Amino acid sequence: MPQLPGNGLMTAAIAAGPKIAALSCGKPVYLVVLLHAEGSSGQEVIDLALNFAPELPKADFLAAEAPFPAATGRRWFPGEGFSTETIVAGLTTSAPLLDAFLDEMLSARRLPGDHLALVGFSQGAMLALDVGLRRAVPPAVIIAFGGALPETRDIGAPRAQPPVVFIHGEDDAVVPLADMIATRDRLKALGLPVKSMRRPGLGHGEDDDGIIAAGSVLTAALVKPKKASDDHDHGDHDHDH
């Protein structure tokens, strides 16, 4: 269980939460790690994974539990709220923890780094992006629900260039749609394969259509990699030329 050194945060650690074992009953071929939102828990996101598992019978689904307590559930950053300063400080604190946690979970299953997929929600989406883009071996895909990276968070030239998919509510008042678009365009400018799906009428959360789309993305990335870049018209996708 990776922990942080010093500064009163020695007890901060990411824990392996609830999971869905590979339905094939054999050794898993893929690992999908889900990172819950602020004030949530691993149980909430593993319930969503029930939608994905039937199409990915060779994948283990694992919900990670954030290291810091919140008023309800857990949170990924030690500070409260979504100010730029809190997000950047939180990423600086928690990114090394998640990176080590992912290494540990992959090693336990004897899986290579590119057999990993990250699905994050809100703060968890921010952390999935920040860590996934820096890993030496890129994950197969990063899916971010309601997440973005502040302009002040330097990602430089990413060591990894995994496919990234943003799924975002148009009425998100916590992480505005404009922040997602800015992050998406920033990653595209760095050469990453990035797509986004905007959900009309949705605030800071996820809906059925977004979850269904995420399942399709996971299946394409993990089971049918040659088709991962195919375009599917859901009617809500951003199409940039």
CATH fold label, 15-225: Rossmann fold (3.40.50)
Q: Which one-letter DSSP state was computed for residue 240?
A: -
Q: Which residues contact 184 (CB under 8 A, 6 or more apart)?
A: 164, 166, 194, 196, 238
Distance CA 223, CA 171 (A): 33
What confidence score (pLDDT) does residue 224 get? 60
What confidence score (pLDDT) does residue 80 get? 85
User: pLDDT tens digits, residue range 69-95?
Assistant: 998 999 999 988 889 999 999 999 999
The list of the chain residues with pLDDT below 70 reads 1-11, 224-241
What confidence score (pLDDT) does residue 232 get? 39
Instruction: With CA atoms as reference, report the closest residue to 57 among 18, 16, 25.
Output: 25
- Answer positive or negative: Cα dihedral of 133, 214, 185, 76: negative
Counting every residue written for the chain, the total comes to 241
CB 154, CB 179: distance < 8 Å: no
Instruction: With CA atoms as reference, report the closest residue to 175 among 122, 132, 133.
Output: 122
The domains of the chain are located at 15-225
Distance CA 135, CA 52 (A): 24
Count the neighbouring beta carbons within 10 Å of the beta carbon of residue 234: 13
